Structure 1
Amino acid sequence: MSDGGSGGRAEIHHEHRDVSGGWLRPSVFGAMDGLVSNFALIAGVAGGSDDTRVIALAGVAGLAAGAFSMAGGEYVSVASQRELALAEIDVERRELQRNPESEQEELAQLYVAQGVEPALAAEVARQISRNPGKALEVHSRAELGVTPGDLPSPKTAAVSSFLSFAAGAFLPLLPYLLGVTSLAASAVVACLALFGAGALVSRVTARNWWYSGLRQLVVGAVAAALTFALGNLLGGTGL
């Protein structure tokens, strides 16, 4: 059968989305956290005070503090994870240099454990081991679950987290910045955004859009309601 001029290369009939770029998790988590935490903060302050200026100021402070905190936390955590992965990759690199035969045999045994015939596994391991860079990549992926050239970026995680948190936190604050004095307006905006964000996440997961949206809405609404009740309680005591 003709390969259609592809030069003997296998034809790829599907593509996968990027699942290891380091941006999706902090972006989703940041947006959801910004929505829920700042909506809850605004609701809590509104439960204890009728001063819309104080409520708006609290919302702005919550947005700024949360965005910087999220960005810093993501940067440090991803950088630490990356440094650990690089250290273990260096260990694997040294082993490949010091004990190439043992590492080749180890790779062959990994293929055998996955169902490859021993003779074929040994030949595949031998051919891969001829290229030090490729051998390191294969060993790292098989033993550590990481690829040396495809580690998450701390900067990408930090920027994604900062922007997404700020965007999420801004939505429940927006009505107060526009001069609306009722918590109900903030609640409507926040609830719509929570449901929409949850539904949007379903596009990169296996969940139904309505389930994902409703789940996020319930989580945010419960958090805001509890914080409002706490603010109302503390406000009534004069604190």
Structure 2
Amino acid sequence: MSGRAEAHHHHRDVTGGWLRPSVFGAMDGLVSNFALIAGVAGGTTNTKVVALGGVAGLAAGALSMAGGEYVSVASQRELAQAEIAVERRELAGHPEEEQAELAQSFADQGVAPGLAAEVARQISQNPDRALEVHSRNELGVGPGDLPSPLVAAVSSFLSFAVGAVLPLLPYLLGATGLGVSAMVSCAALFAAGALVSAVTARSWWYSGLRQLLVGSGTAAVTFGVGNLIGASGL
């Protein structure tokens, strides 16, 4: 076994503002519009009505996702900025206490007290660097790491629209029944789940099957509801 230290390694970005809304948006668009189309198709054989429902579901869902994600991320960002501002004022008004607090945090992590005090002193000489370190230690995020509401909103809108158009596309191309849409949607559900495994620790087949079961089960339930409502003549 080699005693050499590892020269370097790379981690994937786990703090970016685009991955979660993109993945969630695509999954939500695919599942919700597939379920919506299945529900409408269960209640009527009029393909124009089914297609209209799918288009409305795509538009409403994509806009709702984008708006909700924008407000959510903006609120999260504003809260972090307010707390960082508090930390900035503390550093300006009580520099010695903040330096001692930083030294103690290093000591709590196992650094020798003398060394911890020296590192804290050197960091505290640079106000911007001190703010960065204090913010990360106390808030878990630095001033430059805050997610962008606009990136989150656009990612959510586009990804939802991409997911939602897949079950709708067969109807737009002339399909006369739910069968083709269901096949396309099931294939996309499995592929989307398998793709997500690339950024998780799960195997591709497990993620794919899980997403397929969840999405197809949801569509089956809504199809049944639509069928019951259509049969009742409501």
**TM-score of the pair, normalised by structure 1:** 0.95
Judge conservation of contact 2:30–2:185 (CA < 8 Å) in 1. Answer: yes
Q: Which runs of 4+ in 1 moved over 3 A?
A: none
Distance in structure 2 (CA, Å) of the matches to 1:181 and 1:124 = 71
**Partner residue of 1:162?**
157
CA distance in 2, matches of 1:212, 1:117: 45
Tell me the residue number matched to 2:102: 107
Q: Distance in 1 between matches of 2:222 and 2:101?
A: 56
Q: Tell me which residue corresponds to 1:126.
A: 121
Question: Which whole-Å CA distance do the structure 1 matches of 2:79 and 2:7 have between them?
Answer: 34
- Aligned with residue 95 of structure 1, among 84, 90, 93: 90
Cα offsets for 1:4-53 (capped at 9, x unmatched): xxxxxx98511111111100000000000000000000000000001000
Amino acid corresponding to residue 31 of structure 2 in structure 1? V
Contact preservation (8 Å) 2:45, 2:177: no
Superposed CA deviations along residues 189-229 of structure 1, whole A, max 9, x for unmatched, are: 00000000010010011110000111100110110000000
Structure 2 counterpart of 1:117: 112
State the match for 1:4 in structure 2. none
The one-letter code sitting in structure 2 at the alignment partner of 1:118 is P
| Alignment partner, residue 79 of structure 2 | 84
Moved more, 10-19 or 205-214: 10-19
1:1-239 map, 5 Å: 13-239=8-234
Letter in 2 for 1:46: A
Indicate conservation of the 8 Å contact 2:30/2:189, yes or no.
yes
TM-score normalised by L of structure 2 = 0.97
Equivalent residues of 2:35, 2:223 under 8 A apart: yes
Q: Which moved more, 1:14-23 or 1:196-205?
A: 14-23
Name the SS of the counterpart of 1:149 in structure 2.
helix
Kept in 1: contact 2:21–2:156 (CA 8 A): yes
Structure 1 Cα separation of the partners of residues 150 and 13 of structure 2: 17
Cα root mean square deviation, aligned: 1.1
Q: Quick one: distance in 2 between partners of 1:59 and 1:17? A: 36
- Aligned partners of 1:144 and 1:235: how far apart in 2? 53
Letter in 2 for 1:26: P
Q: Contact between 2:135 and 2:142, CA under 8 Å: does it hold in 1?
A: yes
One-letter amino acid matched to 1:45: V
Task: Give the drift of 1:57.
Answer: 0.4
Distance 1:222 1:113 in 2: 50
Over the matched positions of the two proteins, sequence identity in percent amounts to: 77
Measure the CA separation in 1 of the matches of 2:12 and 2:128. Answer: 25
In the alignment, the residues of structure 2 paired with residue 156 and residue 18 of structure 1 have an alpha-carbon distance, to the nearest angstrom, of 15
Matches of 1:90 and 1:13, distance apart in 2: 35
- 2:61 and 2:226 map into 1 onto residues whose CA distance is 19
